[in-house]
Structure 1
């Protein structure tokens, strides 16, 4: 399975410009089955957020580009919610643009402007189960474990980490790969967006947490890798943490 991840700079509120950048990324993805773009890329990572509906005609060129080459594109955007907007992942390349995931763990100021998603998502992508995550979700081992329990062999995450967070950024996503014995594909925001400076981190990690493809920090670009999905079963046999985990009683506290 060919997978691509993009590391891109987003223009706050300029959907047309961001869609044009995404279309270019599709052309660089080498016919990948899946392309992962950054968190909030289509609307820009700004608070308060610019909001767009999944059926907004400005998204049309990306839908057409993805459909033309048979690539499913995952792109982050702020979309309308119930009481507040949702920090969503939109999927392009099917019969229409779909809102397929809403970020479940909101970080910092996001909590003032968004409402969290209630459930995880696993996409059936040509019979390959692909779980979705957004940035802060990847900091929680339980999120990745729920994806593995749901059958995922690939964990696709869209992120936007501020400059200076490179160590934590990479440690979280590689740990989720190793914890669960699956591939992790990360699309990342880079450069200036609004008041923030973002550090990238677009990469693809194998089921033991090794990085098999990445875009260099500070640069825009697309990284592509052909994944041998048989490695998931092989790795889980070699490191059977998923099967051997136990339901543990609360820890005892002993005073010495």
Structure 2
């Protein structure tokens, strides 16, 4: 029988372009979170710096995060620009799954916004990531605002919808609104790791507000706007009455 899954959504402080430092911070979060799955925001390994160099899955700077996952038995979903795949010449905004064996590109953002298409190639299909029998659909930021993305992802047969996002403080309500739309329309668990602090692209103050929602739309845990916050919950455990 599938066991409940403890998850965490983290919004660490992020240093612009500094993959090595950010990987060490991610590793500290993984060690402290006590979760099987730790989700990080969009482009968490570089910041929202659209000129950042792509981060290959085998990048040695990710080794502290790999070691932390090995020590704790955790899987981390981190955000990074990655080299183009297949026929793509341009890099992608992606999700890297990191565990004791290393890092793997598991999803490429499909719905690009603002200046992103000038630099990045969109992903071509939704993706499902399996953790201990839990099928988790993956999303990055604008994906969560496109109803078709959630519908196409859920159609693959998922238990949850997991996203790394970045919103400005002025749009702090957006991640929760989108999470509640997904729970309301599809009845799945939702985990959102939302960038906090400041980063490139004009985001002098990001929203934070990472959260975890049950299929009935109830909030299991929610962070404030501060960098460094981590929220946790157990998927498969009914919320307290």
Match of 1:65 in 2: 68
Q: 1:42 to 1:132 in 2, by over 3 A?
A: same
Structure 2 residue matching 1:193: 3-state secondary structure: coil
Deviation string for 1:139-189 (max 9, x for gaps)?
011211222211111111000112201122320122112211000011121
Q: Structure 1, unaligned stretches of length 5 or more?
A: 232-256
Name the Cα RMSD after superposition.
1.5
Q: How does 1:166-205 map to 2 (within 5 A)?
A: 166-194=172-200, 195-197=202-204, 198-205=206-213
Match of 2:53 in 1: 50
Match of 1:13 in 2: 17
Count residues with an aligned counterpart: 230
Alignment TM-score, normalising by the size of structure 1? 0.86
Match of 2:147 in 1: 141
Aligned structure 1 segments of 4 or more residues deviating by more than 3 angstroms:
none
Match of 1:95 in 2: 101
Alignment TM-score, normalising by the size of structure 2? 0.91
Query: How much does 1:225 deviate?
Result: 0.6
> Bigger radius of gyration, 1 or 2?
1
Residues in 2 aligned to 1:85 and 1:104: alpha-carbon distance in whole angstroms: 12
Match of 2:136 in 1: 130
Residues in 1 aligned to 2:198 and 2:59: alpha-carbon distance in whole angstroms: 25
Residues in 1 aligned to 2:97 and 2:62: alpha-carbon distance in whole angstroms: 11
- The answer (yes or no) to whether the contact 1:33–1:72 under 8 Å persists in 2 is yes
| Aligned mate of 1:114, from 99, 113, 120 | 120
Match of 2:230 in 1: 222
Query: How much does 1:230 deviate?
Result: 7.5
Query: How much does 1:207 deviate?
Result: 0.7
Residues in 1 aligned to 2:172 and 2:203: alpha-carbon distance in whole angstroms: 15
